[in-house]
Amino acid sequence: MSEIMIDASDGTGRFKALVVEPKAKPAGAVVVIQEIFGINDAMRATCAEVADLGFIAICPDLFWRIEPGIDITDKSEAEWKRAFELFQTFDQAKGVADLKATLAVARTLPGCNGRVGTMGFCLGGRLAMLMAEQSDADVNISYYGVGLDDLLGDLDRIRAPLVLHIADQDQFFPADGRAKLVAACQGKPQIHTHVYPAADHAFARVNGVHWNGRAATIANGRSAEALVAALG
């Protein structure tokens, strides 16, 4: 694992991004989009898994404008409180801008074949859908994104494949919103929705409190297939 610095597109500063490289290159790259806990052990493990699949993983510090280097877990009440404070303070539009800057840098990384996708979790799952609507990423994958029913007005802007992993017991995404999302995506061949029975929010968070091995394994397999198809 290594770190690189990326210039913010608005000229306000630079932010770090974790990079994990695969054994063989050239390779496609995946921008891994963090949860509300920052770049923590779960995100580092996810980046390692992406690299093991044969892709360059790059995970930018999206909370750098608030506090660089956030690294907390879902294991304590204090950490949850801090995570929600970060979520409420976070500027999503600037986050998307930082992700676009990361995407552009990823395409030029040594050994990258020029194809880059995104894969996000929780807050990152929402941002992955925004990237599907607003960027030129080659594929976008969203795990249990929050409030995705608020983003349906721009579905027609999506051109690249978008994979949506949805937990049917998601405590942070009410059932009516999930149903609205699935219905709106029907008939759009570039959008693939998958609902996981008996799975709660963050079912694929490595070592997370809501880990669901069956749902995570199935979802991760679908993600791998989508990445291989789009990125080579």
Q: Which domains does the chain have, with CATH numbers?
A: 2-231 (3.40.50.1820)
Under the banding of pLDDT at 50, 70 and 90, the label for residue 154 is very high
Q: Give catalytic residue positions.
A: 170, 201
pLDDT confidence of residue 215? 98
pLDDT confidence of residue 16? 98
Cis? peptide before 161, omega within 30° of 0? no
- pLDDT (average), residues 158-166: 98
pLDDT confidence of residue 105? 98
Q: What is the DSSP letter of 56?
A: E
Question: 1-11 pLDDT, tens per residue?
Answer: 899 999 999 99
Question: 57-110 pLDDT, tens per residue?
Answer: 999 999 999 999 999 999 999 999 999 999 999 999 999 999 999 999 999 999
Q: Which helix or strand (DSSP H or E) is residue 224 part of?
A: helix 213-231
3-state secondary structure of 227: helix
- pLDDT (average), residues 203-216: 95
Which pTM was predicted? 0.97
Mean pLDDT value across the chain = 97
φ, ψ of residue 189 in degrees (nearest 5) = -65, -20
- Which tokens hold the place of 78? 């204090």
| CA distance to 41, 69, 149, per residue, from 28 (Å) | 23, 26, 30
DSSP 125-175: HHHHHHHHHHS--S-EEEES-SSGGGGGGGGGG--S-EEEEEETT-TTS-H
- Which tokens hold the place of 5? 């610095």
Q: What is the DSSP letter of 200?
A: -
198 closest CA partner among 225, 221, 170, 226: 170
**Beta bridge mates, 209:** none
